[in-house]
Amino acid sequence: MTVLRGSPAPALLTAGLNSIQVRSLDEAGNYSSPVNVQVNYVVPPPTNDFFVNALSLTSTQGVATGFNTNATKEVGEPNHAGNQGGKSLWWSFQPPEDGVLTLSTTNSTFDTLLALYTGATVSTLALVADNDDAYIGTPGGFSQIVHAVRPNQTYHIAVDGYDGLSGRISLSHDFVHARLYRLTVNTTSGGVTDLSPSTMDAASNSTVVVTATAAPLYEFAGWTGSFTATANPLSVVVNSNISLTANFQPIVFS
């Protein structure tokens, strides 16, 4: 591009190396010889590109926006919702009381990844919940999390692009008060459940579905604890603190 230098003049730069030719013009209309200048324009990342610079969501309801086009993925940052991503932005939220937090990336311009964590550093985060697509069987859509949260706890929210996609992020959050109970699920040797971590908070009268999966040469043998059951998956209506154990036993061959 060529810029005439008689008074301050704007120059539109693009990301990367820019070649600018500058000439001066005096009051008599005389031009100087052109001078070539190269400018390497590095586009700064968004403020909340890094975990430590997460933007705080200070109200109980609202919509936060941002662009992750120039965002990055930090060393030690986990894969959100099981995808490598690569352009994450961070927000944080501290509930005023027990309740349920709803997060959604509706109206974002690309396929998003959404994750909710606790923890003090990006490399020691503990996953609370994550989501790729809000509706199963509808890939490429928005992400959504609905999860019980406690006061005096800072929750970290990551929004990333599926396989590194980028664009405009629209993150809505809505917190409502609710009575919470604790659900704990243990296992005997020979199998696992899909509840990870094994202890979670749940809103009163909410339903949690837990599935037990037996290891090779083992079979599921029922649930014991606060109550007994044989259904698998098991739908649990949480209206008190509940502790369950998924029991497994070796398959007996004759």
Q: pLDDT per residue over 54-88, tens digit each?
A: 999 999 999 999 999 999 999 999 999 999 999 99
Q: Quickly state the pLDDT bin for 9 (edges 50, 70, 90).
A: low
Dist. CA 5–CA 2, nearest whole Å:
10
Is the pLDDT score of 19 beyond 90?
A: no
Is the pLDDT score of 221 beyond 60?
A: yes
Dist. CA 47–CA 236, nearest whole Å:
42
Structure tokens at 220: 């599921």
Is the pLDDT score of 139 beyond 90?
A: no
Among positive and negative, which fits the CA dihedral 76, 81, 83, 88? negative
Q: Quickly state the pLDDT bin for 34 (edges 50, 70, 90).
A: confident
pTM, 2 dp: 0.79
Per-residue model confidence (pLDDT) at position 43: 65
Is the pLDDT score of 122 beyond 70?
A: yes
Is the pLDDT score of 103 beyond 80?
A: yes
Q: Quickly state the pLDDT bin for 16 (edges 50, 70, 90).
A: confident
Dist. CA 169–CA 181, nearest whole Å:
33
Write down how long the chain is. 254
Closest CA to 39 of 93, 1, 77: 1
Average pLDDT over residues 202-229: 97
